[in-house]
Amino acid sequence: MGNFKPVRDSYLPYGRQWIDEEDIESVIRVLRGDYLTTGPYVSEFETAVANYVGAKYAVSFSNGTAALHGACFAAGIGDGDEVITTPMTFVASANCILYQRGKPVFADIDNKTYNIDPVEIERKITSRTKAIIPVDFTGQPVALDEIISIAKKHNLAVIEDAAHALGATYKGKRIGSISDMTMFSFHPVKHITTGEGGVITTNNKDYYEKLLQFRSHGITRDKIKLNDIEQGPWYYEMQFLGYNYRMTDIQASLGISQLKKIDKFVNFRKKYVSIYNEAFKDMDEIKIPYQNKEGSSSWHLYIIRLDLEKLKESRKEIFESLQKRNIGVNVHYIPVYFHPYYMKCGYQRGVCPNAEKLYEEIITLPLFPAMTEDDVNDVISAVNEVLIYNRK
């Protein structure tokens, strides 16, 4: 589009961390101490996460993807096992199935919530199905009651990808306390950060023990688990092929400090979302995010859906116009099976029409607690400008 002044001089990213002096001090304290990795802060962080979400156990990992890999291992996913997930997610939600030589099966999304549709899950179940990996897309909890009841009926594990949903609730319960296993990510754009990091929360002791062993090469020192108890105090056994997926004490200490601020972070997100909703609710050209009544989203992402029939320009042109105004818009996500690797594995376009159509029409606006109300208003001004220009 034609001439314009950028609404702001500096580039506003779609998401970023909020680190304060207390966070910095907590990292420095570890650097001066005895342990840099797998010391006291790792278990303290795990206990804090478990307590916050209301789960019995939490096992930390070097990143959220490694945590999902661990969950697939613990759920017993193996050669050729089918696992149902959504295409409207980051590739990690499906890649973790491939790591275990399982087969991702994509079920389409609900057109209102953009979350995986339980009816579509049930349609995709075969005798080879072992688990479901639903994603709380943008922070809005999936239909957990429906999904868990399908899982019970067919004897499947539910591994909830809650990378977007720390601090969200479903029917009054915190996300992280409900599914068989729940994954949270601590990447800098997520609700709290450890640089890289992730966790699985669970109420199941068997999963908990498998996860601990998996993230440390498959090694155990637990006397009850050893095959040979005669060896001596130095002795440990590697009993299955695990990985080095451990979180450091440096990360965990940052995580402990960040977790103290989770409610503040989520409240800022909610406040900015209500400002966006108010500003956009009467614009015919865009749809604001639908929220169902069962859950309370923790708002990782704010996504607008364009009604392209009512707009002069394409999504790409509108996206570029916002970028030119220094608004760091993004698109979440490219359907997983559109990626060349998945295409090479034989996946084809057309299997999830709702997700494919959504992908053509969405733009993610900046949303993070460290942005200011002025930043929020800059985004609104830019969207207004671009949409007014686009009116037919």
Q: Quick check: 135 binds ligand PLP (CB under 6 A)?
A: yes
3-state secondary structure of 220: strand
Question: Shortest gap between Cβ of 150 and ligand PLP (angstroms)?
Answer: 21
Figure out which of the listed residues 60, 63, 182, 213 binds ligand PLP, where binding follows CB under 6 A: 63
Angle at 137 between CA 248 and CA 263, to 5 degrees: 60
139 or 242: whose CB is closer to ligand PLP?
139
d(CA 175, CA 162): 7
Q: Measure Cα distances from 299 to 166, 359, 361 in Å.
A: 9, 19, 20
Q: Which of 114, 108, 69, 62 is nearest to 92 (CA)?
A: 69
Residue with the closest Cβ to ligand PLP? 64
272 or 333: whose CB is closer to ligand PLP?
333
Question: Shortest gap between Cβ of 354 and ligand PLP (angstroms)?
Answer: 18
Structure tokens at 133: 């990996």
Q: Which of 369, 365, 362, 277 is nearest to 326 (CA)?
A: 365
Stretch that binds ligand PLP, among 86-94, 249-257, 269-277, 377-385 (CB under 6 A): 86-94
Q: Where are the beta strands (DSSP E) in 203-330?
A: 219-220, 237-238, 286-287, 295-296, 302-306
Q: Which positions from 167 through 226 interact with ligand PLP, judged by CB under 6 A?
A: 185, 187, 198
Stretch that binds ligand PLP, among 12-20, 36-44, 70-78, 159-167 (CB under 6 A): 159-167
190 is catalytic: yes
7 or 72: whose CB is closer to ligand PLP?
72
Structure tokens at 299: 């708002």
Question: Shortest gap between Cβ of 162 and ligand PLP (angstroms)?
Answer: 8
92 or 380: whose CB is closer to ligand PLP?
92
- Binding mask 65-84 toward ligand PLP (x if CB under 6 A, else -) reads x-------------------
d(CA 185, CA 196): 8
Per-position b or e across 25-47, b if 16+ CB within 10 A of its CB: ebbeebeeeeeeebbebbeebbe
Question: Shortest gap between Cβ of 196 and ligand PLP (angstroms)?
Answer: 6
> Dihedral of the CA atoms 151, 154, 156, 159 (nearest 10)?
-20
| Total of chain residues touching ligand PLP, rule CB under 6 A | 14
Figure out which of the listed residues 161, 180, 285, 378 binds ligand PLP, where binding follows CB under 6 A: 161
Q: Which positions from 16 through 35 interact with ligand PLP, judged by CB under 6 A?
A: none
Stretch that binds ligand PLP, among 21-29, 44-52, 62-70, 78-86 (CB under 6 A): 62-70
d(CA 20, CA 5): 33
93 or 220: whose CB is closer to ligand PLP?
93
Stretch that binds ligand PLP, among 89-97, 200-208, 257-265, 337-345 (CB under 6 A): 89-97
Active-site pick, 103, 130, 190, 210: 190
Question: Shortest gap between Cβ of 332 and ligand PLP (angstroms)?
Answer: 8
Q: Quick check: 89 binds ligand PLP (CB under 6 A)?
A: yes
Question: Shortest gap between Cβ of 186 and ligand PLP (angstroms)?
Answer: 6
Structure tokens at 271: 């406040």
> Dihedral of the CA atoms 261, 13, 270, 44 (nearest 10)?
-20
Question: Shortest gap between Cβ of 72 and ligand PLP (angstroms)?
Answer: 13
Using alpha carbons only, how large is the chain's radius of gyration in Å? 22
Are the C-beta atoms of residues 197 and 223 closer than 8 Å to each other?
A: no
Q: Which of 162, 207, 212 is nearest to 184 (CA)?
A: 162
Active site amino acids: 190
| Chain residues that interact with ligand PLP, rule: CB under 6 A | 63-65, 89-90, 92-93, 135, 161, 163-164, 185, 187, 198
